[in-house]
Chains A and B, each alone.
Chain A
Amino acid sequence: MTSTRKLWFLLAALLLASFAVLLWSGNQIYQKAPPMPERVVSENGDVVYTRDDIETGRQVWQSMGGMQLGSIWGHGGYVAPDWSADWLHREVMAILNNWANRDYNAERFAALDAEQQSALQGRLVAMIRENTYNPETGVITVDEDRADAIAAVSEHYQSLFGNDPETADLREAYAMKNGTVPDPEHRRLLSAFFWWTAWSAVTERPGSDITYTNNWPSEELVDNQPPPSTFLWSAFSVTFLLAGIGLLGWHYAVNHDKEEAPHRYPGSDPMGQVVVTPSMLATAKYFWVLLALFLVQILFGAITAHYQVEGQLVYGYEMAEYLPYSITRTWHTQLAVLWIAVAWLGTGLYIGPAVSGYEPPYQRLGVNVLWVCLLVIVVGSFTGQWLAVMQSLGLDNNFWFGHQGWEYADIGRFWQWFLFIGLILWLFLVGRALWPTLRSASESRSIVGLLFLSTVAIGLFFGASLMWGENTHLSMVEYWRWWLVHLWVEGFFEVFATAVIAFLFTRLGLLEIKTATVAVLFATIIFMAGGVLGTLHHLYFSGTPTPVLALGASFSALEVVPLAYIGFEAYHHYRMSIATPWMQRYKWPVMFFIAVAFWNLVGAGLFGFLINPPLSLYYMQGLNLTPLHGHTALFGVYGMLGIGLVLFCLRGMKPHLAWHEGLLKTSFWMLNIGLALMALLTLLPLGTLQLFASLDQGYWYARSAEFMQQPIVDLLVWLRVPGDTIFAIGALIFAWFVIRLWVFPTPEGAVPDRDTAEADRHRETSPATGR
C-alpha cells in the first residue's frame, strides 16, 4: 500500500470515528437539554408563563435580531448585556431586596450587615437552585416571592424594549433603537424567553448540584461558580496540547530531511501558458462583487463600532431609526462569511477549467446564472432581515424570509435553501470541469481529488444550517449552528485553504505533486483530528452535559497543535516566492498566504486558545476577547486567503498586464497593521478589563451598562479609530488596484511600476554606483 493510500484510509477512518462521536454528543445534548415547561406556575397556582409564551417570545427575540443584540448563554453581541445573566441578576436582586425589606425593614439588601446578607443569600441559594420541574406534568412551580420578582423584572424589560423614557439611557447604552419591539404583548412574551434561559442557568440538573448550563454565568449570589469539570478539563486540555506539540515536533524531526528532495523548477511561469476559457473570464465579476461586499462590510463594521460610543447616533445623525445596531452588526458578520465564500466560489470556478484544460458546454452560462443567484440571495435576504428588525414582517413570515437571529446563520430559511442549492450548483460546475482530471490516471489525480473533496464538503456542510426548525430546542439549534460555523468555516474552509495553496504551488511547478499530496493529506488528518470534535468547544455552557465539555476541551486543544508549527509553512511559502525569477509575478499573492500563516498562529492559535479552556471561557465568553479572536482569525486567516486567491486568479486572467506593486504593498501592510492595531489597542485591553470585572464581581457586571459606560471603556473603543482607519484605507487601495486592471490597464513592460522605477532611480543616484 502506498503512503498516499494509507493516508487516505487513515483520513476516512478518522472522519468516520470523529463524526460518530460528534453525532453521539448531539444525541446526549438532545436527551439532557434543559426542559421546556408546559406551564410555569406560582405556589398559589397562578400561571406565570406557558410554553407557548416562551416559544413565541423566542420568535420575537429572533425577529429583532436575536444574537445580534446582546447575547443568550454568552453567544451574540457585546454591547447590550447577556440577557440570561442580566435577567438572573435582576431577579435575584429583586428577591433579596424584597426579603431585606420584609425581614429586616431595610430599604435594600445592600444596606444589611454581612451576617444578615449571608442568611438571606443562604435562603436564596436553596430556593433558586432547586429543580421544581415535574417531568410528568411539565410544570415548573416557583415560590410566590420569586413570581413577584419575575413580574418586576418582566416589567423592566417591557419598558426597555419599548419607548419608555425611564429606560431611555439604558437603551442608548445598549445601542438599542427606541421601540425595539413596538407590540406590548410581544415584549411580555420576550421576557418569558429571557426568563427561561436564566432559569436554565441557575437550576440544578436532577440528581446533581450543577446547573443545566454548567453553572454559567458566574454569579456569586446564587453560588454559580465554575464546576470541578471545568478545572479538570482545562488542565487536561493544556496537557493534550503540549503532548500534541511534542509528537508533531518528533514527526517533523524524523521527516524533515525527506521533504528536502532536489527539485528542478520550470524556467518560465507554467500558469502563463494556461488558456483562459470564457467561463474562467466570467468569474471576474465574482471578484468585483467580492470587493463591493468587503468594502460594505467594513462600512457596517465602522457604524457598529461607533454605536458603542453614541448608542443611537452616528456623529449626530439618528442612524438607529433606519439602520439600528442589530441590523448593522447582522450585515457586518454576514458579509464577512459571504465575501470570503464568494472568493472560494470564484476561485473554484476559475481553477476547474484551468486544471483540466476542458471547458464543459454551457459552463459560462452556469457561472453567470450562479452569480445572479448570489446577488439575489444577498439582496433578498438582507431586505428580509431589515424588514424583520424594523418589526414590519410579522412573526409568521420571520423564520422563512426575515431574521433568524442566530449569529452567522441569520438569513431566512428560504434564503438558506436557495444558498444551499447555489452551492450544489457550484459543486456541479467545478466538478464537471475537473472531471477529466479526476478520471485520468495522472499523478495529480489525488491532489485534485482532495481539492474537489474539500469543495464537496463546503457545499454539503452548509446543509447543517437546514437541520433546525422554527421551534427546535435552543441547545439543539446551537449544536447544529456550530456544525455550520465551526465545521464549515473553521474545518472545511481550512482544508480547502491548505489544499488550494499546495495545489497552486504544484501547478506552478514549485512543488512535487506527490510531496504536496502527502503533505496536504497529513495536514488534513492532523487538522481534522482536533477539528471535528473541537466543534463542541463552543457548547460548554449551552445546556449541554459534562461529556460534551470534556470532549470539546480536549479535542479543540489539539486544533492548536498544527498552528504551533505554522512557521514552517510560512517559511516554505517564502522560499517558493523566491525560487525562480518569474515567481516575482506572484510575490503579493504569496505574501498574503504568508499573512494567512501569521494570523493562523496569532488569531486562531494564540487568541483562540486564550478563550478555549473551559475555565477561561467560563469567565471570558462574550467579552471583547471573543471578537479579538473573531476578527484576527476570520479576517486574518480567511480574509487574507481570499485576497491572495483573488490576486492569483487575476494574474492568470490578465496575464500581460503590469501590476502596480506599490499599491499592493501599501494595501498589504495597511490591512495587516490596521488589524493588529484593532486587536492590540482596543479588543485585547478592553477584553482584559472586562475579564477582571467578570472574575471579581460576576459575569453580569462585565457586560453591564455600569461597566461599559466607564470613561476608560469609551477611550479604548475610540482607540479603534486609528487601526480601523488604516485598515479601511488598505481595503480601498486594494479595491483601487483591482479597478485599475480594468479601467487603466497597463501592458507589461510599457511603464515600469513605481517600485521598480524607484529602485532604478535609486541605482542611478546611489553614491555606491559612483554616478
Chain B
Amino acid sequence: MAEFYLEIQRVHVVAVLASGGLFLLRGLALFAGSQLAMSVPVRIVGYAIDTVFLTAALMLATIVRQYPFAHDWLTVKLLLLGVYIALGVAAFRKARSLSVRAGLWFGAIAVYAFIYSVARTHHPLGVFHQLVS
C-alpha cells in the first residue's frame, strides 16, 4: 500500500479542500438566501466528498502506522473533526436565527482552519506550535 502513499495523500488533501470549500460556499449561499445550499444534489456531493476524504485518511493512518489515540496530533484532528461536524450541522439547522447560524458557521470554519494547521505541522497545537516553542 505504501506504493500509493503519495497518490492517496493527494486525494486526501484535495478532498479535504473540496469539503471545506463546499462548506464555505454553502454558507455563503445560505446567507444570500439561495435554496441551493440545502438542495439534494449539493448535499449528496458533500457526503460523497466526505466519504472519500475519510477513506483516504484511514488508509494514510494505516500506511504510516500512526493512529488517533496513539499519536496526539491525530487525536486532536479526530476530536476537532467531531466539533467541526457538530457546528456545521447546527449552522444549517432551520430552527435557529440567521445571526446564530452565521456564528456557528464562522466557528466551524475556524475549527476547520485549525485542523488544517494541525495536519500541516503534525503537532497537536497546530499553528500555535511555533508560539509555544
Do A315 and B1 touch across chains, with their CB atoms under 8 A apart?
A: no
Q: Which residues of B contact A310 (CB under 8 A)?
A: 62
In the complex, B92 has a CB within 8 A of chain A: no
User: What residue in chain B is nearest A316 (Cβ atoms)?
Assistant: B67
Q: Which residues of B contact A316 (CB under 8 A)?
A: 65-67, 70
Among B43-71, those with CB < 8 Å from A are 51-52, 54-55, 58-59, 61-62, 65-68, 70
Do A711 and B62 touch across chains, with their CB atoms under 8 A apart?
A: no
Q: A316-B67, A714-B1 are in contact. Are A721 and B62 (CB under 8 A)?
A: no
Main secondary structure of the interface of A (DSSP, over half): helix
Alpha-carbon distance A722/B62, docked complex (angstroms)? 16
Alpha-carbon distance A589/B62, docked complex (angstroms)? 40
Q: Which residues of B contact A718 (CB under 8 A)?
A: 1, 55, 58-59
Alpha-carbon distance A685/B66, docked complex (angstroms)? 29
In the complex, A702 has a CB within 8 A of chain B: no
Main secondary structure of the interface of B (DSSP, over half): helix
Q: Which residues of A contact B51 (CB under 8 A)?
A: 721-722, 725-726
User: What residue in chain A is nearest B67 (Cβ atoms)?
Assistant: A316
Q: A315-B67, A316-B67, A316-B70 are in contact. Are A721 and B58 (CB under 8 A)?
A: yes
Alpha-carbon distance A718/B54, docked complex (angstroms)? 11
Q: Write the nearest CB–CB distance from B29 to chain A, whole angstroms.
A: 17
In the complex, A637 has a CB within 8 A of chain B: no
Q: Which residues of B contact A725 (CB under 8 A)?
A: 51, 54-55
Alpha-carbon distance A345/B85, docked complex (angstroms)? 40
Do A309 and B62 touch across chains, with their CB atoms under 8 A apart?
A: yes
Q: Which residues of A contact B59 (CB under 8 A)?
A: 718, 721
Interface size on A, residues (CB 8 A): 14
B62-105 near A? 1/0 per residue, CB < 8 Å: 10011110100000000000000000000000000000000000
In the complex, A715 has a CB within 8 A of chain B: yes
* Residue of A310, A315, A719, A722 with most chain B CB atoms under a 10 A cut-off: A315
Which of B4, B55, B67 lies in contact with A721, CB distance below 8 A? B55
Alpha-carbon distance A715/B61, docked complex (angstroms)? 14
Do B52 and A722 touch across chains, with their CB atoms under 8 A apart?
A: yes
Q: Write the nearest CB–CB distance from B6 to chain A, whole angstroms.
A: 12
Alpha-carbon distance A725/B67, docked complex (angstroms)? 19
Alpha-carbon distance A611/B59, docked complex (angstroms)? 31
Q: Which residues of B contact A711 (CB under 8 A)?
A: 1-4
User: What residue in chain A is nearest B57 (Cβ atoms)?
Assistant: A721
Q: Which residues of A contact B66 (CB under 8 A)?
A: 316
Q: Write the nearest CB–CB distance from A623 to chain B, whole angstroms.
A: 21
Q: Which residues of B contact A714 (CB under 8 A)?
A: 1
Alpha-carbon distance A711/B63, docked complex (angstroms)? 11
User: What residue in chain A is nearest B47 (Cβ atoms)?
Assistant: A726
* Residue of B2, B51, B68 with most chain A CB atoms under a 10 A cut-off: B51
Alpha-carbon distance A140/B52, docked complex (angstroms)? 57
Alpha-carbon distance A315/B1, docked complex (angstroms)? 15
Q: A711-B4, A715-B4 are in contact. Are A315 and B52 (CB under 8 A)?
A: no
Q: Which residues of A contact B2 (CB under 8 A)?
A: 711
Do A315 and B3 touch across chains, with their CB atoms under 8 A apart?
A: no
Alpha-carbon distance A719/B70, docked complex (angstroms)? 25
Do A722 and B55 touch across chains, with their CB atoms under 8 A apart?
A: yes
Among A591-648, those with CB < 8 Å from B are none
Alpha-carbon distance A344/B62, docked complex (angstroms)? 40
Alpha-carbon distance A711/B65, docked complex (angstroms)? 16
- List the 5 closest A-B pairs by CB distance, nearest first: A316-B67, A721-B55, A714-B1, A711-B3, A722-B51
Q: A309-B62, A315-B61, A711-B1 are in contact. List 4 more A-B contacts (CB 8 A).
A: A310-B62, A316-B66, A718-B1, A721-B59
Chain B residues in contact with chain A, CB under 8 A?
1-4, 51-52, 54-55, 58-59, 61-62, 65-68, 70
Chain A residues in contact with chain B, CB under 8 A?
309-310, 315-317, 711, 714-715, 718-719, 721-722, 725-726
